C-alpha cells in the first residue's frame, strides 16, 4: 500500500525541522523500519507544506506499531513545537491524500488488457 500525507511546519521553524531530519536518531530510523514504514520520504515546500510518502502493508497497523514505541513518543514530543497544528502529536495529525494515479499500476493493467485481447483474437 502507498500512503501520501500532508501537514504543515511553521514557516519560521523550517530550518530547524530540516536540521533535525538531517540526523534522525538511529533508534527512530530502526523503529520506523521495524514497524513496516518502507520507502519513506518527506518533502517540504517553501511555504511550510509538508508532504510525506511511504509504502507499507497496512498504514493503520504500521502507525499503531510506531505508537507503542518509546522512541516515537520522544520524537513526536521533540517535533510537536515545529508543526503549525500542535493540537495532536505530529504523526496523528497527518491528513491522508488520496492516490488517483500510479504509472506502474496503470501499465500493469494495460498490459493485462492487451494480453487478454490477444488471447481472444
Q: Which of 21, 30, 33, 109 is catalytic?
A: 21
Q: In what order do the strands lie in the sheet with 95-97?
A: 38-44, 49-55, 2-8, 95-97
3-class DSSP assignment, residue 86? coil
- Determine which helix (DSSP H) or strand (DSSP E) holds 1, and give its type and residue range: none
CA distance linking residue 63 with residue 100, whole number of Å = 22
Q: Is 21 a catalytic residue?
A: yes
Task: Give the three cell numbers for residue 76.
Answer: 513526536
Active site residues: 21
Amino acid at each position: 500500500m502507498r500512503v501520501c500525507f500532508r501537514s504543515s511546519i511553521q514557516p519560521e521553524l523550517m530550518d530547524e525541522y530540516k536540521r533535525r531530519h538531517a540526523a534522525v536518531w538511529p533508534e527512530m530510523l530502526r523503529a520506523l523500519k521495524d514497524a513496516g514504514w518502507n520507502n519513506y520520504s518527506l518533502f517540504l515546500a517553501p511555504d511550510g507544506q509538508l508532504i510525506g510518502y511511504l509504502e507499507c502493508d497496512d498504514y493503520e497497523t504500521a502507525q499503531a506499531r510506531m505508537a507503542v514505541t518509546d522512541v516515537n513518543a520522544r520524537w513526536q514530543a521533540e517535533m510537536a513545537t515545529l508543526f503549525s497544528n500542535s493540537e495532536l502529536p505530529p504523526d496523528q495529525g497527518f491528513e491522508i491524500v488520496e492516490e488517483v494515479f500510479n504509472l506502474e499500476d496503470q501499465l500493469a493493467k494495460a498490459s493485462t488488457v492487451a494480453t487478454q485481447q490477444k488471447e481472444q483474437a
